Amino acid sequence: MFNLDRRRFLGLAAAGAVSTGTLLAGCSPSGAPAVGAPQRGGRLRAAFAGGGSAEVLDPHDCDLYVEIARAKALFDKLADYGNDMSPQPRLAERWEPAADLLTWRITLRQAAFHDGRPVRAADVLHSYARITEPGSSRRAKSSLSVIDLPGSRAVDDRTIEFRLKRPYAEFPNALATLGAYIIPEGTTDFARPVGSGPFKLKSFEPGRAFLGERNPDYFDGAPLLDELEIVVTNDEAARVNALLGKQVEYANDLTLTSARTYEAGGQIRVLRLPRSNFHGLAMKVDRPPFDRPELREAMFHLIDREELVRSVLQGSGQVGNDVYGQGYRYYAEMPQRKQDLNRARDLVRKAGAEGMTIDFDTSDASTGLKEAALAISDQARQIGLNLNVRLGNKDTYWSDIAKNSVLASYRSGGMPLDSHFSQRLLTTSTTNNTAWRRPEFDALYNTAQSTLDERGRAEIYARMQRQLFEEGGFVWWGVSDWIVGSAPNVGGIDDASPANTLNWARFDKVWLA
């Protein structure tokens, strides 16, 4: 690692900062010229960053956005996440828990694979067994490991009875988890995969292009498009240029700079998908200096959230409030924190940390990590703290901060609050980057998962969030949009869906005017 001059960023941020109202005015796709009524036909070309020649069409091994988009085109899950991260039925028609929350009965809707075979309970059990098999490192494995598969059974072709290893009130979240796609029983070869999704495979070149054709028998209605082509273009500027040059009609993951440059010209439509990325800091609460609750509280009151949204996020987002998941199911509203330097300064003195130098790890691993660290380190000087910004290896950043960092820039995509708690904040969590280990917090989580009543569960989650708000190790200062671009003649893109939810990259609902 090497140190960064915090002033290197500030001049650029000030020059590029615009007020939230100025940047967002007129940029919503809902304010763009009407595309017209949905119509059938044509090929949509969509550009994504890719993973090179090692890419596969195995839906259980999808990590990149391009892999997820292809998997959504070819396959289905039992459920997927709605705009508020609540599970929405897909191949599952409904789910019913037993009173003890240890048994869940899933009824499948009538759906078919591309070769005409019906989607059956045996296909679901086979898919989940493959994901969770010993030695597997597939993404959905941790979420589905709550299932006692030997104790689960197919009641009939359209009914599955899942037996769980522990009570789990949020079990439908596991059905919706990334990578939990259903494949036909016995599938081992994915060179020409057969799924139940809205498009059938026509051709695939790893690291280059994918072509799918309409599945006329799709259970949720045949796509309007004749064909979907997904091309790989790793350079963001190249994706924008392809859109401007009419070589593609959709470009995933645009930068804030590109959005601001092109959205007013009318050549492309800029769509900002809200509540997609959460920006913050992670403080290790089990070691000096952040084992002192006064110092953690000082960090809560130090940060000028409005300034970071203006400068780091260039106005494309909203301020955070130190509790993850704004706008998501079960999110508990707290009094909005604002910068209070006097209170922060007093808390630093109480913690005995005045004049202290603290290493502050950051990286170029994700957009905004470095810029936020530089801005926050400058703010910290006003309360007598010297945050020594260190730039880490972007390829190993997340594992490095998990092991070694006491203070680090942090970023998260969307996930249900239940998943945020279980993956990051329990004593047994594997990605507990704040080292938050509280037996009473674990007990609240376990009680919530044993509570059948949703209102009672929400009350428990609110108590957990209040505890994190007051003394936790995360500072969530902002929530940013996910930015995609499209040609003016593309209709049907949902501009209210965070990235990685049901309606993100859902090309079966898109049309060309």
Give the integer Cα–Cα distance in Å for 124 and 141. 14
Does the structure show a pLDDT above 60 at 2?
no
The percent helix, strand, coil of the chain (3-state, each to 5) is: 30, 25, 45
Name which of 433, 368, 424 is nearest 399 in CA terms: 433
Give per-residue burial for 444-467: e unless 16+ CB within 10 Å, then b.
bbebbbbbeeeeebbebbbebbeb
410-456: pLDDT as tens digits: 999 999 999 999 999 999 998 999 999 999 999 999 999 999 999 99
User: Is pLDDT of 513 > 90?
Assistant: yes
Separation CA 260–CA 474 (nearest Å):
30
Q: Of 311, 296, 304, which is closest to residue 340 (Cα–Cα)? A: 304
Strands 43-48 vs 407-413: parallel, antiparallel or unpaired: unpaired
Q: In 3D, which of 172, 282, 226, 213 has the Cα closest to residue 73?
A: 213
- Residue 32 token pair: 């763009």
pLDDT one-digit tens code per residue, 53-63? 889 999 999 98
**Token pair in block for residue 414:** 């969307």
Residue-wise pLDDT tens digits, 239-268? 999 999 999 999 999 999 999 899 888 889
- Which neighbouring-strand residues pair with 160? 106, 154
pLDDT of residue 502: 97
Indicate yes or no: pTM above 0.85.
yes
CA-to-CA distance for 498 and 62, rounded, in angstroms?
18
What pLDDT digit, counting tens, does each position of 354-388 carry?
999 999 999 999 889 999 999 999 999 999 999 99
Q: Provide the greatest CA pair distance for the chain.
A: 70
Q: How many helices (H) and strands (E) does the chain have?
A: 16, 20
* Residue 36 pLDDT class (50, 70, 90 cuts): confident
Query: Band of the pLDDT at 26, cuts 50, 70, 90?
Result: very low
Segment 472-483, tens digit of pLDDT: 999 999 999 999
Cα distances (angstroms) measured from residue 89 to each of 58, 71, 92: 22, 17, 5
The tokens of 295 are what? Answer: 């110092």
**Structural tokens at position 168:** 């789990």
Please compute the mean of the pLDDT values over residues 62-68 and round it to a whole number. 92
Q: Which amino acid is at 33?
A: P
- Alpha-carbon distance of 282 to 285, in angstroms, equals 9
Q: Which two tokens stand for residue 332?
A: 């508990």
Residues 157-174 have a mean pLDDT of: 98
Q: Tokens 């047994």 label which residue?
A: 428
List the alpha helices (DSSP H) in 169-216: 171-175
Distance of alpha carbon 106 from the chain centroid = 26
- Could you tell me the pLDDT band of residue 108, with boundaries at 50, 70 and 90? very high
Q: Read off the pLDDT band of 34 (50, 70, 90).
A: low
Query: CB within 8 A of 15, min separation 6: which ones?
Result: none
Look at residue 280 and give its three-state secondary structure: strand
Tell me the mean pLDDT in the region 143-148: 97
* Confidence tier at 338 by pLDDT (50, 70, 90): very high
d(CA 369, CA 371): 6
Question: C-alpha distances in angstroms, 339 versus 230, 316, 344?
Answer: 44, 20, 8
Q: For 332, left (φ over 0), alpha (ψ -120 to 50), or beta?
A: beta
pLDDT 10s digits, 262-296: 988 888 999 999 999 999 999 999 999 999 999 99
Residue 232's closest CA among 242, 222, 217, 219?
Answer: 242
Cα distance between residue 488 and residue 383, in whole Å: 49
Q: What three-state secondary structure class fits 114? A: coil
Can you read off the two tokens belonging to residue 36? 């017209």
Bond preceding residue 439 cis, omega within 30 of 0: no
243 is written with which tokens? 């859109």
Q: Do 122 and 154 touch, CB atoms closer than 8 A?
A: yes
